[in-house]
Amino acid sequence: MSTPRRAALLTLGCARNEVDSEEIAGRLTDSGWELVDADDGADVILVNTCGFVEQAKKDSIDTLLAASDSAQESGAKVVAVGCLAERYGKELADQLPEADAVLGFDAYPDLAERLGDVLGGHAPAAHVPVDRRTLLPISPVERPAASADVAVPGHAWVPNLARTRLTEGPVANLKLASGCDRRCTFCAIPSFRGSFVSRPADDVVAEAAWLGMEGVRELYLVSENSTSYGKDLPGGTRALVRLLPRLTQVPGIDRVRVSYLQPAEMRPDLIEVIASTPGVAPYFDLSFQHAAPTLLRRMRRFGSRADFLDLCARIRALAPEAGIRSNFIVGFPGETDEEFAELEAFLSEARLDAVGLFGYSDEDGTEALSLPDKVPAEVITERLARLSSLVEELMSQRAEERIGTEVEVLVEVAEDEDFECTGRAAHQAPDVDGECVFERGSGLAVGDLVKAVVVGTEGADLVVSAREQVPRSTLARATAGVSGSGG
């Protein structure tokens, strides 16, 4: 019997990219490949790159170069896939000869065959980028049929075939949609991820059921814009309102969390279903980006300090302990002292649980690249430092407000002589927010869901004392079950 070819998969970037890597892994294992670590005799080292901002691009290139150095000793081939490869294609291949191939999203359905060609010394031509928004109809309702002929990473799920889990933890990312129809002046994602395409609700629920059988207790729903989910499906944008309760009925799933919500698209029914549905984390990952209305218009976004404060107030009226987080860009072209002060004031009043700050940088293919009145780099650095200090204090204060409250914590790291037992409460998302640290001697295991009381804080992190374990969900919360029509 012939020895199976071996592939190592390195993933950079966001949770959406992690889903894409698991689809790649599924396609390869279904074609007879074996997944191994990069230093464990891999024939091919696949680097699933990120191409979002300058630092992410640098990290991807550094990873490719490091993989190439490793491959010189082992004889492995190095192949670039993912967003950087899709966005730059042949340009990346020309500037990075260390990569044996640069493949775009359209190569994913036949990836095993393409990698076989690389191993055989017949590497396919480097991907030539196109604006992926041109591959689907402008009208969202016409996209479902057309998308069957367009590669959309993370959508081709078939049980035990087109997805192989690369981690064993109790949390799994689950893709709702891909692409984006918004035209924010700072963002190039739509050009290389394409127009917005929702996954059918029944596919999402079926994959959730498979993940539940794989031991997952929390689903982290990801997309470029979750509030648009369903606009290209029958039933329209209320699809997410209908989908979330269905997902809470999946056996084994105890928590469902939604990421990346657009404030301008937060309808009252969506706020209510996230804030009030048992099994849905009352967690609001809101893409504010700024708070000054004049600057938001230059970003081609909507809202204001008053609008965003009102949204936070409406959320907390329904769920006082809800988690609210957001990201903000500092130093966008033309940002005045007054606009920056408006952002400072909003953050002071909003009492967000978690905040991500990014200094503006020019991005290829964006409208902001040509905007006048660029803010000097030293001013951006000074404003970032000033805002970071403020945010650190505000998040610590918000954490302190939770002392004495009860939280449900999903354990992700078990205690040993080197590590404390840690996990996340409903208001804390993976990787981007704070965590809960259990008192020593809790005796908990990874995957336990525990009711705990907050007894202290460590910055934005909570120190908690375990009270009782929550049994794993084995039955649907409602009689509808996991089947049924989806929007």
How long, in residues, is the chain?
487
Structure tokens at 136: 């689907």
Q: Which residues contact 34 (CB under 8 A, 6 or more apart)?
A: 4, 5, 6, 7
Beta strand 197-198 with 177-178 is: antiparallel
Structure-token pair, residue 17 = 């990219």
- Residue type present at position 362: D
Q: Is 14 annotated as a binding residue?
A: yes
Cβ atoms within 10 Å, residue 106: 14
Q: Is 39 left (phi over 0), alpha (psi -120 to 50) or beta?
A: alpha
Residues 6 or more apart whose CB falls under 8 angstroms from that of 2 comprise: none
Whether the CB-CB separation of 115 and 80 falls below 8 Å is answered with: no
At residue 276, what is the residue type?
A: S
| Strands (E) located in 28-151 | 34-35, 44-49, 77-82, 101-102
Question: Is 83 annotated among the ligand-binding residues?
Answer: yes
Q: Where are the beta strands (DSSP E) in 50-196?
A: 77-82, 101-102, 171-175, 177-178
Is 421 annotated as ligand-binding? no
- Which residue type occupies 83? C
Distance between CA atoms of 223 and 239, rounded to whole angstroms? 14
On whether 50 is known to bind a ligand per the annotation, the reply is: yes
How many angstroms separate the CA atoms of 235 and 241, rounded? 11
171-175: strand order across its sheet = 171-175, 218-222, 255-258
Taking the C-alpha atoms of residue 306 and residue 37, their distance in angstroms, rounded to an integer, is 50
- d(Cα 88, Cα 49) in Å, to the nearest integer? 11
Which residue type sits at 473? S
Are residues 16 and 178 in contact, defined by beta-carbon separation less than 8 angstroms? yes
Residue 335 has which token pair? 């940002």
> In this structure, are residues 115 and 102 in contact, taking their beta carbons and an 8 Å threshold?
no
* Closest C-alpha among 214, 208, 284, 218 to residue 254: 218
d(CA 166, CA 401): 37
CA dist list (Å): 479 to 206, 324, 471, 476: 17, 31, 19, 7
Show binding-site residues: 14, 50, 83, 180, 184, 187
Show binding-site residues for [4Fe-4S] cluster: 14, 50, 83, 180, 184, 187
